[in-house]
Each structure stands twice: as C-alpha cells, then as structure tokens.
Structure 1
C-alpha cells in the first residue's frame, strides 16, 4: 500500500465514521489493508449492489435465452434457428471475452474526481442501451450479429468496473455477505430477466427498449448514490503495448490460486448455463411444450426460490465458518444431481423439479464464489482488469451457452446436454481444491 495517511485496517475500516481523504490509497484484494469504507457508505453500497447487478443481469437473463432466440426464429424461421443462434451467440460471446478485461484495464488507469469505476459504468450502460435499441430494429442476420455484438461490448464495459467495487471498497471480512447480496442481484436479475423477457415474447421491440432504459436508470442511480473516492491524484503507471497484451493473461505459475479459481468458475458456469440458457428450445423441441413462453415465468419464480434461500444462507455462513471450498463442492453435487432428472426422465415435471434443485445448488455457489475470487486477485493495482479476466468465466458461459448447446445438439441431440453439464460442474468444483489462499 502506498499512502501518506494512516488507514484503519480489518474491521476497524468498517467501523470508521470519518472518510479517508487521501487520494493515494490503494487497497489489497487479500485484505492485508482493507478498503477505506465507512460503515454508512458500506451499508448503502451493499443495498445498491443488488439493483446495479439487476440492471445488467436482467439483460443476460432475457436476451440470450428468450428474446434473441425468438427474434431469430421470427426473422429466419424455425428450420435453422439452432444454427443461426449458435452463430450470433458465438460472435457476441467472443466480443464479451475481449472487451471486459480491456474495460477493466482502462478503468484501473482512469483518473477522475468521480473515481476509477463510475465513468465507464455510465458510458457502458449508455452504449449498451443504444445498441439494444438498434438490435430491436435489426432485420437481417448480419444486422443482428452486429447489434448483438455491440450490446455485448457496451454492457461488458459497464460490468467490468462494477465488479471491481468489492475489492476496491469492501473489507475482506464482509465480502461473503457482500458477495451474497451481489449474487442475489445477479441471479434474481438473470432469472427475473427470463420472467420479464417472457412477458415481451410477442413484443420484442418493446422489451428491448424496456431493458435499455431500466439498465441505464439503475446504474446511473448506483453511481450517484455511491460516490467513489477521487482518483485524480493516484499515480498513473506507465503504459506499454506489452502491458496491454497482458490484459488477457495472468501467469498460472506466478498466480496459481487465481488460475484455479478462474478455471473452476469457467467450468461450472459453462455446465450450468449450457442447460438453463437453452431453456426456450429445450421446452419447445425436447419437452414439446406448445407455449413455452407461458411456462418460463413459473420456472423462473421456482428457480428464484431455490437460489435466494441458498444464497442468503451460504454467503453469511461462509463468513462465519471462514471457509469457501465446502460450499463450492456442495453446490456442484446438488446441481449435478438435479441435471440427472431431465436426462433420465425427459418430462416437463422433471424439468420443473430440476429448476428448483439446480437453482438451490447454483445459488450456493454464487454466494461464495465472488468472495473467493476477491481473495485470489494477483494485484491491488489492477482489480478491474483482473476481475475482467475473471468475469470472462462468468459472462462467457452465459452468452456463449446457446452456441455451445447448439453445437452439442446438432451433433448428439438434446439429451447430450445433461451429461456434458454434469461432467463440467464436477470438474469445476474439483478445480478449486488446489487453491491455498482460502479454505
């Protein structure tokens, strides 16, 4: 840490009622020097992180799994909708993978009176909203690809800096609770997005405009209600092309904990969203539901019940026991057992049961995984860049799921999704075993 002002650490940082006035403070992800977050500001931040995540993840819940597939089906017919969706989703996912760590790198280097994160959160939400409106009026495959890619670019510009708020401003002993609240916003957003998206199933243009406006409003309110410390006097590190290229790379030898945490999240998320992210076509083509848009809201509500219950319990409990890994192992086991049901019993009833059980397991994982990630970040000076790399493991599976699932379905049929997801989930849990920074 480099600072000319004494900074309270540990719980004392959270108990302080006087904001730190220095502009040279740099926290550490491990918590050796906790962020200067006064308790009133921290509580407000914990409240506002839920709607902030809602603003972004409702889009990821509504578009890739419901509105975008429906738009493609309406525009190009049902015959090739799997292949067309796979093309659109793959290109968009690649954009997400590239943009978020770049946005994080820019955020880490941003110097403004509003802090490092706020400017890009606002710019990204505005750019994403405008792109979403453009997607609403796209009427060709090329137009859909371009517009969806720009949507990915815009909202990933906002999401990278938003994720860096926790290691920037939340003391390490509060991160399990903060991660649980953040996870509630994330999962309620993703599943609530599917519910709201189903409401716009036959009014896609109106739905796109709604999500664009909602996201811009809540992210703007988050920035206004949670002002960051000025970063104008933070020392700006020299920029080189090599440093820029390293944006996408964290040495697994020098930072093995980070590597294993990234790998675990990537595998588990990919398995989960390869199944749940393909819900619309599974319901219509695999379970032969006549009107899937009428079933999706019920499924979303049932999944939310499981997720909220496990998230509220697992996050604070992991803080209390001081362990993260057991919750990851348990979540993988629960989700894997849930995916067995529709594989062995291809019926709508089994899908409904799976939705609740898998939601419970995934909520448990989501509650502790963000806290775990924050404790293995390589550098205090590049929180947003490193979290941008980490978030590739979260956003890439969600946006790429239709593409991945499409390839599997075209090659082996719908039933193959479930064993693939089970194997990926188990491997994801095993990947966190070697991590030494947390138990």
Structure 2
C-alpha cells in the first residue's frame, strides 16, 4: 500500500479562488496541448503528405510526441520538487513550459515537412508537460484532503473547458491554420504570467534543492509499482479512460471523412462543434460530480458510471454512419470523462508517497497525456484488423478501432478491488491514521541508528 501524503503542512481549508486560479492554468495548458490532437495536426499532416498516408503520418507524429510526454512529465515533476529559487518551486516551471509551448507552436505553423512537424510536436509535449507536472504538484502542496474531490472536479471541468476557445477558433478560422495553431499557446502565456503573479508558491527549504545530479533526475523514472500499488492502479485506470476518449475524439475528423463522406473543411467544422458540445457536458458533469463526491467521500459510483458511459459512446461509433449517432457518441464521451475527472485527481492524491508529490503527480499526468498520443499512434495498425470496414466498406476498419477502445475502457474496472482502501474516505482515513502512527513510531528508531 502506498504511503499517502499527510496534510500536516497543508492548511485546513484554502479559498476557492486559489483553486480556480490553478484550474485556469489547467484550462489554457490543456487547450493549447489537446487542440492540435483534435484538429491542427490532422490538417497539417494533410498539407504535407498524400491523403493515402495520412493515418500513418499522424500516428508517427503522435507516437514520438507520446514518448516525449512520457519522459518530460515525471522529470519536471521531480525537478520542481527540488527547485530552490526566490520565485518558488513550481512557478518557474509553469512559466518555462508556457513559453516553450508558444515556441513549439510557431515551429508547427511553419513546418514544411514531416521532420520539422515532429520536432515541433515533441517540443510542444515537453513544454506543456513541464507546466502540467508543476501544476499538479502545486495542487497537492496547497489543497487539503477535504477539498480535493471538489478541486478535482473543477480541474476536470476547466481542463475540458480549455477546448472551448480553441475549438471556436478552429471553427471560425478553419481556412487559416496558423491562427488555429497559435491562438491557444499565446493565450496560455498571457494567462500563466498573470496567474503566477498572484499565486503563492513559497521557496523550498534548503534541503529541497540538494542532490540535483543527473542520477537524481533519472530517478524520476524509478518507482516500484508494487510498493506504490494503489497509485499504480489509479494510473492504469486513468490511462484506460483517457485512451477511450482519445479514440473517440482524435480520429473524429478522419472518421467523418471516411464514414460520412464529408469533405475536409466540413469535417473539421463538425469535429470542432461536436467537441465543444462534449466540453459543455464535461464541464457540467465534472462540477456536479465533484460536488457530490466531496460530500459522499465515496468515489466508486462515479468511476463505474463514467466507465459505462464511455464504453457505450465507443460502441455507438463502431457501428454507425449516422451524424445523429456521431453527436450522441461525442456527448456521452464528454459526460463520461467529466464524471471521471471529478474524482481521479483526488483519488490519486490519496496514494502519493510522502515527500515525492511532484514526481508521482508528474508520473500520474503521463496517464492523461500519453494515451492522447498512443491512441492515434496505434490506430493505423488497429484499423487494419479484420479487413474492410463493415459500415463504409473502406479498407480502414474503424469498427475494429472503436471495439478495441471499448475493451480497454472496460478493463479499467479490474482496478477497483485493489483500490478499496482509498475509494472511500472512511477507509482512507483509517489507513492514513495507521500509517502516520507507524511513521511517528519509526522516527526515534531512525534517529538512534543515525547516532
């Protein structure tokens, strides 16, 4: 069982305005990071490679971006744990990530070929994962247990809400790709600078800045999944849910072109509007479920309901060429992810090892960003399974893609038995009290050994 974070250094309650400031960073960062996966990268790929190669090219770009996310998030979480500056531990990385994201967006805008496109997307993943890792650690630093489910819901709502301005830009300026690519990264820099000026982030203690060797940086990747069993199960649960949603959303543009025979501009506009509608339901579900989860303290019903809704969304898309069912599927996916986001971060914070919050939340963030790249990377292989598509008759089997997504999402339910000790607040409080007692009893023994 993982040693959870204790609340000894956290305030009993913090103003909700602080939660909203943190969530605002989540909004602009995920808006800048996810928008290319929904629209921009697909359109840029179509500019660079022949249409027949579009799935493979998009898969290559996103796979390399996924690798960058896998490396960057835990590293920057680890570095933020050990950063010692007058500006604080987390804020330097929040700002550096936003500025790096804007630079990478400029590279994506002018990319004339696949290597430059890959470079821009890899840099984008590195930069924004630096921001996300530091942001999650800041949340764990400052938000007490009693407010974490509500904060998790707000974060989930704002993270998805970040797609709203981005998708509006994509809809209004579908013929002006540079505007679509650059708009959210520029907004992210402005918002993060303003928020960091208002956000408390006390400098770390002297010991927090020690031992920043290369070996210590690579230690960010080393953790024992058996010692941190509950954390590992929550990580798997989030990754499978995010994989399912990424299957629904990322290949939506190509799905409309293949299944509904829409031309590129119409498909891009419909994808953007459907994503906005899903974002609205996600926002409502995350807020409402976060409120009720905070009151109940039991996260199990929210996890089960979100998994069921996501599975239905994927199954609907697997066997239809109807615009109406496409809409229903998109809305259900947004509702499902909103309900899940209401509890997933709060659940993860119940499983963090003491003193390594930034590192482990960095690893946890990989479960959110990695599937957004892994799903489109695997999709070109999955659509070759089983021959022709049973609905469109085309050579790319989109039914297989959505059935695989359904199976992955349903597999997340297998994590629930191993999370009994943290899914309910009363069980978690008993476990935490016992662990704190054991830690307190061990302190004199440790000191005696040192002497």
TM-score, normalised to structure 1, is: 0.88
Structure 2 match to 1:65:
38
SS in 1 for 2:417: coil
Q: Is the 8 A contact 1:31 1:172 kept in 2?
A: no
2:291 to 303, 316, 322: 316
Partner of 2:26: 53
Q: Tell whether 2:379 aligns with 1:394.
A: no
Deviation at 1:241, TM superposition (A): 5.2
Q: 2:344 aligns with which of 369, 386, 403?
A: 369
Question: Matches of 2:9 and 2:271 in 1, distance apart?
Answer: 43
CA contact (8 A) 1:114 1:227 kept: no
Show the 5 A alignment for 1:72-83. Answer: 72-83=45-56
Alignment-derived partner of residue 416 in structure 1: 400
Partner of 1:89: 62
Distance 1:135 1:52, change over 3 A: same
1:292 and 1:344 map into 2 onto residues whose CA distance is 19
Q: How many angstroms apart in 2 are the aligned matches of 1:416 and 1:193?
A: 30
Q: Distance in 2 between matches of 1:345 and 1:74?
A: 29
- Look up the match of 1:119: 92
Supply the distance in 2 between the matched residues of 1:343 and 1:208 (Cα, whole angstroms).
Answer: 30
Q: 1: CA distance between counterparts of 2:417 and 2:209?
A: 37
Shift of 1:430: 2.4
Q: 1:341-369: CA deviations, max 9, x gaps?
A: 22233311111011112211111001110
Offset of 1:79 from its aligned partner?
1.8
1:332 paired residue among 290, 304, 307? 307
Q: Deviations over 1:307-362 (max 9, x none)?
A: 12211211111111111122111110111122222223331111101111221111
Q: Deviations over 1:404-436 (max 9, x none)?
A: 222212445111121111111111132133112
- In the alignment, what sits opposite 2:418? 434
Q: Which runs of 5+ in 2 are unaligned?
A: 387-396, 425-451
2:441 alignment partner in structure 1: none
Shift of 1:38: 6.4
| Structure 2 residue aligned with 1:355 | 330
State the match for 1:199 in structure 2.
172
Contact 1:314 1:364 in 2 (8 A): yes
Give the paired residue count. Answer: 409
Relative to structure 1, the CA distance from residue 424 to residue 194 in structure 2 (aligned partners, 3 Å threshold; closer, same or farther) is farther
* Corresponding residue SS for 1:345: coil
Judged with a 3 Å threshold, the aligned counterparts in structure 2 of structure 1 residues 437 and 110 are, in CA distance, closer, same or farther, namely same
Deviates more, 1:282-291 or 1:259-268: 282-291
For residues 348 and 284 of structure 1, the distance between their equivalents in structure 2, rounded to whole angstroms, comes to: 12
Q: Measure the CA separation in 2 of the matches of 1:221 and 1:234.
A: 29
Contact 2:66–2:370 (CA under 8 A) maintained in structure 1 = yes
Change (3 A) 1:158 1:108: same
Match of 1:378 among 329, 350, 353: 353
CA contact (8 A) 2:63 2:374 kept: yes
State the distance in 2 between where 1:307 and 1:287 align.
26
Q: How does 1:9-48 map to 2 (within 5 A)?
A: 30-33=5-8, 35-36=10-11, 39=14, 42-48=15-21
The residue number in structure 2 matching 1:9 is none
Partner of 1:18: none
Partner residue of 1:161 out of 128, 131, 134:
134
Counterpart in 2 of 1:185? 158
CA 1:200–1:406: 2 relative to 1, 3 Å: farther
Quote the Cα distance in structure 2 between the aligned partners of 1:121 and 1:294.
32
Query: Residues 216-265 of structure 1: CA distance to partner in whole angstroms, max 9, x if unpaired?
Result: 11111221121211225454453565543331132122111011111111
Write the distance in 2 (CA, Å) between the matches of 1:208 and 1:346. Answer: 29
Cα distance in 2 for partners of 1:218, 1:200 equals 22
User: Which residue pairs with 2:272 in the alignment?
Assistant: 297
Cα distance change, pair 234–57 in 1 and its aligned pair in 2 (3 A): same
C-alpha root-mean-square deviation of aligned residues, in Å? Answer: 1.9
Change beyond 3 A, Cα 1:403–1:345: same
Residue 100 (str. 1) matches residue 85 (str. 2): no
Contact 2:244 2:314 in 1 (8 A): no
For 2:339 and 2:164, the matched residues in 1 are separated by 15
Deviation of 1:375 after TM superposition, in Å, equals 0.9
Unaligned runs of 5+ in 1: 1-27
Distance in 1 (CA, whole Å) between partners of 2:243 and 2:50 is 27
User: Which segment is superposed worse, 105-114 or 302-311?
Assistant: 302-311
Bigger CA drift: 259-268 or 225-234?
225-234
2:214 matches 1:230: no
State how far apart, in whole Å, the 2-side matches of 1:123 and 1:288 are. 43
